[in-house]
Chains A and B, each alone.
Chain A
Amino acid sequence: MAIITISRGSYSKGKEVAEKVADRLGYQCLSRDVILEASDLYHIPEIKLVKAIHDAPSVLDRLSGGKRAYIAYYKSALTRLVRTDNIVYHGLAGHLLLKGVPHVLKVRIIADLADRVRNEMKQENISEQEARSMILKDDQERRKWTLSLYGADPWDSALYDLVIHVQKFTISNAVDFVCEAAGLEQFRTTGEAHRKMNDLALASRVKAALVGFNPDVAVTCEYGNVLVFVANPERTTRKLREKVKSLGDEIRGVNNIEVHSGTALPPDVI
């Protein structure tokens, strides 16, 4: 009755934990499916999407807003998929992308660098030095990515409900812990939690539809009332307004949709 996000570094056994948790609880396990869904929904080549959401934004990306667009598409696909509940998601930044949803259990699986290097050497058949430098580079890239987009360091344990170090604990222990936590009252899908998830999915969908018009567009949704924020009133183009109007009719669940400009952004904006 929950959504479990498992954040992990490469070769940290997080994937195994995720799959086993899903297996035991009878949940659906999601990772690459989100990329396929996003690529399908927004007609973007998968390879482009993978690159865009994996690498940290370059200076050019920051200016053009291209990266933000891909992340909006990804988030829209993710929220659409997890809306159904009973999900274990072990892909990109679930704990950040699903922020504000009460019944999300945010887990991070970590492992010692030496273990990770060993795992990679075994799987990829490469030298220790190569494996080490690849893992360090990957960690660095992840850190830059979340810092630049969300201002959060993935190694900050305060971002998670549960951090499990797979060393003394086995994978099986980790699965036990996660399953037990997921059964707690706090992670039960209440009516309110379900509504918040739906609102987030709606807001994400609207943002993905508008990000092509204005990469700086920000969206909130509460009880189906969608607000689209544009910082600069002059940039509130007629095209954007018309698109927003048509979205109100196209997207089911939108009760009211408006464009506001020149106002301060609320904290829960996406």
Chain B
Amino acid sequence: MEPNGLNVEMILVMAMIFLAVFLFIVEWVRVDVVAILMMVSLPLLHLVTPKEAFIGLSSNAVVSIIAVIIIGAGLDKTGLINKLVGPIVRLAGKSPSRIIVAISLAIAVISSFMQNIGAAALFLPAIQRISKAMKIPISQLLMPIGYSAILGGTITLVGSSPLILLNDLLVPFKLQPFGLFDVTPIGLGLVVSGILCFVFFGRFILPRGSREGDPAEQGKNGEETDLLQEIGDVYELRTPDDFTHYREPVRVEDLRRRYLVNIVATTEPPDYKVSSPPLDAVIRSGVDLLVFGRDKDVRRLAESEEMILKEGLEVFKEDAADHASGTVEAVVRPRSSIAGKTLKQINLRDRFQVTPLAIYREGEIYRAQIGDLVLRVGDAIVLHGTWKRLQLLHGEGSLLFTTPVDVEIMRPEKATFAGLWLATALVMILVFKIQLSVCLMTGALGMVITRVLSIDEAYQSVDWRTIFLLAGLIPLGIATEKTGTAAWIAHTVLNAIGTVKPIVLLTIIGVLTSAFTLVISNVGATVLLVPLVVNMAVAADADPRMAALVVGLAASNSFILPTHQVNAFYMGPGRYRSTDFLKAGGLISIIFIPVMIGMIYLVFGV
């Protein structure tokens, strides 16, 4: 098939592609807004019909993703997955390598049936607990497990957005769609190779914990000591009876700003106690203060403000006891309503009476004026409060607690139903060969009807950004194909690289997709590249289905930059820097391509 020459429509489509790619990179607006922009401007430019512009919203892929998210939320609600983690850890024993292997395999399998980021969020608290209990630095665990969550997305056709999208993108070419488990051998190969990489080369590519020093020492002391040294501990102070007589009023926030010491509770004459007093509360004479801070800061405060530092806890002994209150690390969830806001704006102190002590972000610890920092997904906030108050905050759902507070409204009694409906959906897909979206939506509906989760909870769990990103980019794919732009680019590229063997072509496609996915998101890369590579494969006498499959799989090859949602989310809790991802992700990304091509060669015989 010889392509037509370049025409105005093709130039327009290419301009729109460049615009989309450009906006993806500079991020002047969010990626899903770029997708909606495409959805609206393509019909206005007469590059697609109005019907085609919105066809994405009713596509098999979008409906499947909605259903997968609801099913994932249902599994989450019943605590089914938490139940799985316990036995897995027991099975793994005490060796860090075995723990990494066991949890990585588990998260990979789970992530093959739910969104990667959902699986990653689900596992985080468990991993933190294991890290503390087994004294393994968290940075040694999170990255391999996060990568496995991403790789696990390639095990089934519903594991990641690019694969869910794949069959829809094959429709215009009248190619045979892929089955749910057609990709499983390849996905498993990728997961196993990823895990092996960390087992054999982990010590070279993983950061050595968050502090410098002897790694053995690190292992012994673990994160807990780190946290204590950096954030401090509770101390009790008393203000003298003439405290307010000869000085300007001293407020709670003054002490925090000047000495980085947090007032956690005060006494109020005659015999009241106020926990997490408001920031503008004036410190009075003759009161006891329960404070949280580093030893040197608390001493400095006591000396400069002439307060009495008590030897141990007296008045607040009961209140500060382990059973009553404590310090937890809470991570800003993906899609959390507090991301993009400051602690001052969300006002945890007044609303929940918990005291934010510090924020961990990209390996840095922030303690001064944290109220003004704009929170990002993956930031770990260290909070102090009574368990009761912390539980309330946990219930609100915007923060993911890495320390268990056991209050989430779980419905463990519904676990059987949740499992049953997942199985039903799978049977419908595998045995009755009904369309993916119908089967998955049946599973989702079943969960709502059997009250695993309410319909409102189901709606809330849906990530509209993903939905519109997918739906908005689909018309761009249609326009690329319909106007002949895809065929034109494919031929131009093929003419440039000359005749190559199909396997070489697939490798090139794999590398190209990996590069695209880093800058324009996995969905963007898939939508733009599938029509292109199918045309290329047809022209080069290679199997177009395999070319499309390579794109769908390689779109998950996103490890080098913390741009993938899972990487961004684990960055805070793992205390990782961008360079850590570059090092470990570099190796995994390089190994990804030969393993993928090799497995495709073995399974499909290309």
Contact = CB atoms under 8 A, between A and B. Distances in A.
A258 B367 contact: yes
B300 interface: yes
A66 to B, nearest CB: 29
Report the contact-size class of chain A (Cβ under 8 Å from the partner). Answer: 10 to 19
A225 B364 contact: no
Nearest to A226: B368
A264 interface: yes
A260 B369 contact: yes
Interface stretch (B257-265, B393-401, B436-444): B257-265
A227 B368 contact: yes
Contact of B257 (A225, A259, A262, A263): A225
A145 B361 CA distance: 40
Nearest to A263: B372
B228 interface: no
Contact of A259 (B258, B364, B367): B364
Interface in A102-129: none
A259 B359 CA distance: 13
A241 B364 contact: yes
Nearest to A260: B373
Contacts of B304: 223
Contacts of A227: 368-369
Contact of B372 (A222, A259, A264): A264
Nearest to A265: B372
Contact of A262 (B300, B364, B366, B374): B374
A202 B579 CA distance: 32
Interface string A154-168: 000000000000000
Contacts of B369: 227, 260
Interface in A11-51: none
A263 B364 contact: no
Contacts of B296: 255
B367 A256 contact: yes
A255 B366 contact: no
A223 B259 contact: yes
Report the contact-size class of chain B (Cβ under 8 Å from the partner). Answer: 10 to 19
Contacts of A264: 372
A1 B188 CA distance: 77
Contacts of A222: 257-258
B368 A258 contact: yes
B319 interface: no
B258 A256 contact: no
A130 B297 CA distance: 61
A246 to B, nearest CB: 14
Contacts of A258: 364, 366-368
Interface in B6-22: none
Which residue, of B296, B304, B369, has the highest number of chain A Cβ atoms within 10 A?
B369
A256 B368 CA distance: 8
A193 to B, nearest CB: 13
A223 B373 CA distance: 20
Contacts of B577: 238
Interface string A193-228: 000000000000000000000000000001101010
Contacts of A255: 260, 296-297, 300
Interface in A241-270: 241, 255-256, 258-260, 262-264
Contacts of B300: 255
B461 to A, nearest CB: 30
Interface string B563-578: 0000000000000010
Interface in A124-154: none
B550 to A, nearest CB: 33
Contacts of A223: 257-259, 304
B342 to A, nearest CB: 8
Contacts of A263: 342, 372-374
Contacts of A256: 260, 297, 367-368
Contacts of A238: 577, 579
A260 B258 contact: no
A259 B362 CA distance: 12
A222 B258 CA distance: 6
Contacts of A225: 257-258, 260, 368
A244 B518 CA distance: 31
A225 B369 CA distance: 10
Interface in B281-319: 296-297, 300, 304
A264 B300 CA distance: 28
B301 to A, nearest CB: 9
Interface string B23-54: 00000000000000000000000000000000
B256 to A, nearest CB: 10
Contacts of B579: 238
A227 B579 CA distance: 24
B248 to A, nearest CB: 8
Contacts of B342: 263
Nearest to B257: A222
Interface string B337-367: 0000010000000000000000000001011
Interface string B243-260: 000000000000001111
Contacts of B367: 256, 258
A222 B259 CA distance: 9
A235 to B, nearest CB: 14
Nearest to A241: B364
Contacts of B372: 260, 263-264
A186 to B, nearest CB: 16
A59 B535 CA distance: 54
Given A255-B297, A255-B300, A260 B260 contact: no
A22 B269 CA distance: 53
A260 B579 CA distance: 20
Contacts of A241: 364
Contacts of B257: 222-223, 225
List the 6 shortest-distance A-B pairs measured between CB atoms, nearest first. A223-B258, A263-B372, A225-B368, A258-B368, A227-B368, A262-B374
5 contacts: A223-B257, A223-B304, A225-B368, A260-B373, A263-B342
Given A225-B257, A255-B297, 19 more contacts: A222-B257, A223-B259, A223-B304, A225-B368, A227-B369, A255-B260, A256-B297, A256-B367, A256-B368, A258-B366, A258-B367, A259-B364, A260-B366, A260-B373, A262-B374, A263-B342, A263-B373, A263-B374, A264-B372
